[in-house]
Each structure stands twice: as structure tokens, then as C-alpha cells.
């Protein structure tokens, strides 16, 4: 017997006063409001059904999985396959694209937005995420699995399973802070069944995702 559902949970608001792309850089933990958002995510599903927890090894996701550990009594398993994608613009504040205009040294990374050439290929992110999801499903005996991860990994899994093109406008991603994207498990694959976001998430500062 395996898990019946997988829930991909994004981390909460990050303390990032300079608005940089934090990528995999150390030292980016949750803000006070981010901890509130992370706690609210536990209300999105019946946590008594959760039989497994998986988490990205970065600080913001480990802090975001803590409420799930408290609610379920489980210990999250770290998995590098659900980490934030690498990105050549790490540590920069992109100022809505204005930084690119003033930095000719960065133009070389824009040669192929469909891959994308500035970061980890979308197809590679999908492959590692789906591998982790299947591993998590097969590691438990029924119930639901929660994976606390990042915006881009969740977004490209959503696009892939919806049969849509992986290349996209980052500003149009449907993946709010502490949102929960749920998938039913079928023998032939995953089928998205629900999307939930905190009611007050609009007041959060969502800056820094690659």
C-alpha cells in the first residue's frame, strides 16, 4: 500500500529586506509573518491523515515544516531533489528586470528563456521532483505525504501534470507563499486535485524566488 495523496507546500514569507534572489544561499529564514503563514498551511488539509513529511534542506523550508512536525508527531526527511533550483542571478535584486538592462555581463544568460539558460532546466526540475514524489508515496503505508519545497519546483510540476508548456512568465505562477498544491495518486501518475492559499497571503512580501 502507498500514499493516496501528495501535498506540495511552499515555504512561508522569508526575511529578505534587500529583495534579492536567495536561491540556495544560506541565511534566509522565515520572517515573523512567514512563521504565521507556515502554521496556517497545516489547516489546509486533514493533518491526521499525514503519514510522511519531506523537506528541502534549506533554512526557510525546514522552518516551514516545523508546524507539520508538531501537528503530526513525524520527523521530516530531507531530500535534495526538492531543493530550490540553481540560478545565475543568485544574490541580485532584479528590480523587475531593470538590473538586466544595466548589466551587460548578464545578457549572456538570456539566450534561451525556454530552457531557461539562466538557471536549472525546467525539465530537470520536473524529473527530480517527480522522482521525489514517487519515492515519498512508496515510503509510507497509506495516507497523505507532505513535501515542503519552493515556488518554481511546485509550479513546473503543476504545469507538467496539467499538460502545459514548462516555459512561463514567473510573475504569473500560481504558487503563493505557504500554499498547498495537492495531487491524488493513481497507478499511472499524479492528478492535481486542489490548490489552497492562506486567506491573508496578499499582505506578505513575496520576493526572492528564482
- Which of the four CATH numbers 1.10.3720.10, 3.40.50.1240, 3.30.565.10, 3.40.50.720 does domain 5-19+29-87+121-202 have? 3.40.50.1240
Q: Fill in the DSSP letter of residue 178.
A: T
C-alpha to C-alpha distance for 65 and 28, rounded to whole angstroms: 15
Please write the tens of the pLDDT for every residue from 167-184. Answer: 999 999 999 999 999 999
* Per-residue pLDDT tens over the stretch 51-109: 999 999 999 999 999 999 999 999 999 999 999 999 999 999 988 888 998 999 999 99
Q: What dihedral angle (degrees, nearest 10) is formed by the CA atoms of 127, 180, 67, 28?
A: 60
Q: Which residue reads 512580501 in cell numbers?
A: 205
Domain spans, the chain: 5-19+29-87+121-202
Host H or E run for residue 62: helix 59-72
Overall pTM > 0.85: yes
Amino acid at each position: 500500500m502507498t500514499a493516496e495523496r501528495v501535498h506540495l507546500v511552499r515555504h512561508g514569507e522569508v526575511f529578505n529586506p534587500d529583495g534579492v534572489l536567495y536561491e540556495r544561499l544560506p541565511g534566509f529564514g522565515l520572517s515573523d509573518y512567514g512563521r504565521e503563514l507556515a502554521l496556517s498551511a497545516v489547516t489546509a488539509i486533514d493533518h491526521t491523515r499525514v503519514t510522511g513529511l519531506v523537506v528541502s534542506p534549506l533554512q526557510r523550508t525546514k522552518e516551514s515544516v516545523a508546524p507539520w512536525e508538531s501537528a503530526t508527531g513525524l520527523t521530516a526527511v530531507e531530500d535534495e531533489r526538492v531543493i530550490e533550483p540553481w540560478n545565475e542571478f543568485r544574490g541580485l535584486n532584479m528590480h523587475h528586470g531593470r538590473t538586466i538592462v544595466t548589466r551587460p555581463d548578464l545578457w549572456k544568460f538570456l539566450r534561451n528563456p525556454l530552457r531557461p539558460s539562466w538557471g536549472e532546466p525546467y525539465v530537470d526540475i520536473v524529473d527530480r521532483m517527480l522522482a521525489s514524489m514517487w519515492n515519498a508515496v512508496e515510503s509510507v503505508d497509506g495516507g497523505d505525504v507532505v513535501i515542503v519545497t519552493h515556488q518554481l519546483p511546485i509550479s513546473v510540476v503543476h504545469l507538467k501534470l496539467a499538460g502545459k508548456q514548462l516555459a512561463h512568465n514567473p510573475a504569473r505562477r500560481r504558487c503563493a507563499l505557504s500554499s498547498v498544491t495537492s495531487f491524488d495518486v493513481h497507478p499511472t501518475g499524479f492528478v492535481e486535485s486542489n490548490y489552497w492559499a492562506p486567506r491573508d497571503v496578499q499582505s506578505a512580501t513575496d520576493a526572492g524566488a528564482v
